[in-house]
Amino acid sequence: MFVVAATTHVGRAVTTSVRGRSFEVAPMMDYTDRHFRYMFRLLSREATLYTEMIAANALVDPRGSRRPELCASRLEGFYGYDDPYGRTVLQLGGACPTQLGAAAELAAPFGYAAINLNCGCPSDRVAGSGCFGAALMNDAPRVAACCEAIASAGVPATVKCRVGAVDAVRDLDGYPYERLRDFVGEVARVGVRRFQVHARLAVLSGLSPDKNRKVPPLRPDLVARLVADFPDLEFVFNGQVDSFDVARHRLDLYDGVMVGRDACKRPWYWTSLDADLFGRPTPVDCRRELLRAYADYGTRVERRDEGGGRRKKKTPRRALLKPLLNLFHGDPGAAAFKRRVDALAKEGPSLEFGDLLARAADVLPDHVLDAPPVRHPPVLADASRSSSSSEMIMMM
**Which helix (H) or strand (E) is 197 found in, with range?**
strand 194-198
Contacts of 306 (CB under 8 A, 6+ apart): none
Q: Which of 96, 119, 121, 161 is catalytic?
A: 121
DSSP 286-299: -HHHHHHHHHHHHH
At 366, is the secondary structure helix, strand, or coil? helix
Determine contact, residues 194/216, Cβ cutoff 8 Å. Answer: no
Determine contact, residues 197/236, Cβ cutoff 8 Å. Answer: yes
Pairing relationship of beta strands 157-162 and 114-119 according to DSSP bridges: parallel
Q: CB neighbours (10 Å) of residue 385? A: 11
- Rounded CA-CA distance 28/328 in Å is 21
Determine contact, residues 184/233, Cβ cutoff 8 Å. Answer: yes
Residue 96 appears among annotated catalytic residues: no
- Rounded CA-CA distance 331/337 in Å is 10
Residues with a known catalytic role: 121
